[in-house]
Amino acid sequence: MGYFEIILRKECIKIFGENITIEIFKFYWRYLDDIFILWKKSWGALEIFINLINNIHPKFKFTSNIEQNCIHFLDISIQLQSNNIISTDIYYKPTDSKQYLHFFSNHPRHIKRNIPYNLANRINRLVSDDSNREIRLKELKDVLLDLKYPSQLIDDAILKSNNIHNTINFHHTNNDTIKNKCDTNYFTFTYSKSNLEHFSNFHNSFLSVLYSTFFNNYSNFNRCLRQPPNILRFLSQQNIYTIKKCNISRCEVCPCLIEAREFINIKGRFICFNGSMTCTTKNVVYYLVCRGCNTADYVGETSTTLRKRMTLHRQHIRDKKYGFMKASLHIRSCANSNFFIIPIFKLNNESKWIRRQMEEFFRYNLNTNLNK
């Protein structure tokens, strides 16, 4: 659609001229493939413009609604008042049955508590007239009462939404009124890093007008910057996995377990955890280092809990009858005769072959010196 608009602008210049094209696109807005235009030229020119849109590409066909006083765009009803002031109201399609989540449905309580607040917020954002807004909020309450929402819950949600709306909705009122509404005022800018220089220029010039017009350099005015949502942030979000002690009484692994968050640096290699793990986690690959010298290390795997596997390690270190592994012999001969331990990989599959393959992978990459 962005590329479509580039071609549309060029074609408009050919037909209407550059000055009229600038005037047309001054009152042209689009959300995805829905276009809203305030048309100030003749009706004949509007028909030419609609034909032009539909003939730019054979795959692009638009339907149009043309009204003089009131038109619906997305979920907003836009009305032109007699004094040439535009007012907005919330718009429900005829097929909208308002079947919101029933209060007795089997959903978490916090979801059902948020529904009245979010619906009230939507009305406060979209309805510009105060009296009309009260009517819409009353209609909302009636719908939610039919869905068995408690009356007090609905009233609290509407009150909370009204308070927030009164705080951030800057009307052309005198400074004393604004100061009485809230001690601190916030204004949030959404910006793009790729256009930061342009944003900064706009930011400074706009604030000077805002201060002088509304606040008279009112000191309690906070500027907030917000990054717009983008698909990269959504795809790059990942769970934060942690390694923690189980803190079970008499657990002998907790004193020697290394706690970490997200990743650990071992021998200059960053190992990111694929799951949260504790002393009681099963089916893991673990990293063990001698506490006496802090240089000798070992990678192992276990299908049982880490606590049980470490019990065997300690038994092999204490008892010469069983301790024939290179790791046991080294730790037993070291001054401290103890070790540090951290699980580094959690397997969802209980296959012994896969576990051994992951153990070999970490042995090779960490170049451990206590493995065979």
**DSSP string covering 79-144, please?**
EE-TTS-EEEEE---TT----PPPTTSSS-HHHHHHHHHHHHHHHHHH--SHHHHHHHHHHHHHHH
β-bridge partners, 271: 264
Q: What is the pLDDT along the chain (372 residues), one digit of tens a residue?
A: 888 888 888 889 988 888 888 888 888 888 888 899 988 888 888 888 988 888 888 888 888 888 888 888 888 888 888 888 888 888 888 888 888 889 998 888 888 889 999 999 888 888 888 888 899 999 999 999 999 999 999 999 888 888 777 655 544 344 444 344 445 556 666 665 555 555 555 556 666 666 666 555 444 556 666 677 666 666 655 567 889 998 888 888 898 898 888 778 788 788 888 888 999 999 999 999 888 888 888 999 999 999 988 888 888 888 777 767 888 888 888 866 788 899 999 988 888 899 999 999 999 888 888 887
Domain locations along the chain: 2-66, 181-237, 242-366
Q: What is the pLDDT of residue 203?
A: 56
Q: What is the pLDDT of residue 142?
A: 92
Which phi and psi (to 5°) does residue 304 adopt?
A: -90, -175
Which phi and psi (to 5°) does residue 209 adopt?
A: -70, -40
The radius of gyration of the chain's CA atoms, rounded to the nearest angstrom, is 33
Q: Name the H helices within the chain.
A: 2-16, 18-26, 43-55, 109-126, 130-146, 151-168, 175-181, 196-210, 231-236, 306-318, 326-333, 352-366
Q: What is the pLDDT of residue 300?
A: 92
Q: What is the pLDDT of residue 224?
A: 66
C-alpha span between 170 and 156 (Å, rounded) = 23
Q: What is the pLDDT of residue 232?
A: 67
Question: 259: helix, coil or strand?
Answer: coil
Which phi and psi (to 5°) does residue 217 adopt?
A: 60, 40
